[in-house]
Structure 1
Amino acid sequence: MLRIVKPKTKRAKRELEKRAPKLEENVKKLLLLHGTSVSSVVKAVISDIYHLKKTGRNAIKLTRKNDNVRPFESGGETSLEFLSQKTDCSLFAFGSHSKKRPHNLVLGRMYDYHVYDLIEVGIDQYKSIASLGGGRKLAPQEGSKPCFVFVGEAFEAKEQFKQLKEIILDLFRGEVVETVNLVGLDRVFVCVAAADKVLLRHCGIRLMKSGSKVPAIELVEVGPSLDLTIRRNRLPSGDLKKEAMKTPFKTTKKKVKNVSGDSFAGKVGRIYVPRQEVEGMALTKMKGLKRERREAAIWRSGDGNGMKSPRDHKLLQHKKQRIDKYS
Structure 2
Amino acid sequence: MLRVKTPRNARVKRELEKRAPKLVENGKKTLILHGTKTSAVLNSVLKELYHLKKGSAVKFSRKNENIKPFESGGETSLEFFSLKTDCSVFVYGSHSKKRPDNLVIGRTYDHHIYDLVEVGVENFRPMESFTYDKKLAPLIGSKPLIAFIGEGFENVEELKHLKEVLIDLLRGEVVENLNLVGLDRVYVCTAISSNRVFLSHCGLRLKKSGTKVPRMELVEMGPSMDLVVRRHRLPNDGLRKEAMKTVRDQPKKKMKNVSQDAVQGKIGKIYMPDQKVGDVALPYKAKGLKRERREAKLKNDDSKHASKKQKENST
Please indicate, yes or no, whether the TM-score normalized by the shorter chain is above 0.5.
yes
What does residue range 200-219 of structure 1 map to in structure 2 within 5 Å?
200-210=199-209, 213-219=212-218
Please state how far the C-alpha of 1:112 moved relative to its aligned partner.
Answer: 1.2
Distance 1:4 1:40, change over 3 A: closer
Residue equivalent to 1:229:
228
C-alpha contact 2:197 2:226 (8 A) present in aligned 1:
yes
Give me the TM-score of the superposition, normalised by structure 2.
Answer: 0.73
Q: 2:192 pairs with 188, 191, 194, which one?
A: 194
What does residue range 115-154 of structure 1 map to in structure 2 within 5 Å?
115-133=113-131, 136-154=134-152
Residue equivalent to 1:94:
92
Give me the TM-score of the superposition, normalised by structure 1.
Answer: 0.71
- Partner amino acid, structure 2, of 1:238: D
Distance (Å, rounded) in 2 between the aligned partners of 1:73 and 1:135: 46
C-alpha contact 1:35 1:65 (8 A) present in aligned 2:
yes
Distance (Å, rounded) in 2 between the aligned partners of 1:152 and 1:42: 26
Please state how far the C-alpha of 1:140 moved relative to its aligned partner.
Answer: 2.8
Distance (Å, rounded) in 1 between the aligned partners of 2:45 and 2:221: 14
Distance (Å, rounded) in 2 between the aligned partners of 1:146 and 1:252: 37
Residue equivalent to 1:74:
72
Q: How many equivalent residue pairs?
A: 253
Q: Percent identity?
A: 59
- Partner amino acid, structure 2, of 1:168: L
Structure 1: tracts of 5 or more residues without a match? 255-279, 281-327
Please state how far the C-alpha of 1:26 moved relative to its aligned partner.
Answer: 2.4
Residue 170 (structure 1) aligned with residue 168 (structure 2): yes
Distance 1:214 1:103, change over 3 A: same
Q: Secondary structure in 2 aligned to 1:156?
A: helix
Residue equivalent to 1:20:
20
Distance (Å, rounded) in 2 between the aligned partners of 1:39 and 1:106: 15
Aligned-CA RMSD value: 2.5
Q: Secondary structure in 2 aligned to 1:92?
A: strand
Residue equivalent to 2:47:
47
Runs of 4+ in 1 over 6 A off after TM superposition: 250-254
Please state how far the C-alpha of 1:224 moved relative to its aligned partner.
Answer: 1.1
Distance 1:105 1:134, change over 3 A: farther
Deviations 1:136-168 (A, max 9, x none): 353332552222211111111111000100011
- Partner amino acid, structure 2, of 1:99: K
Structure 2: tracts of 5 or more residues without a match? 254-283, 285-315
Distance 1:66 1:154, change over 3 A: same
Deviations 1:172-218 (A, max 9, x none): 11111111100111111111111221001111101234466543321
C-alpha contact 2:26 2:174 (8 A) present in aligned 1:
no
Distance (Å, rounded) in 2 between the aligned partners of 1:69 and 1:215: 48
Distance (Å, rounded) in 1 between the aligned partners of 2:177 and 2:198: 29
Deviations 1:98-148 (A, max 9, x none): 111100000000011111111110011111122225793533325522222
C-alpha contact 2:21 2:109 (8 A) present in aligned 1:
no
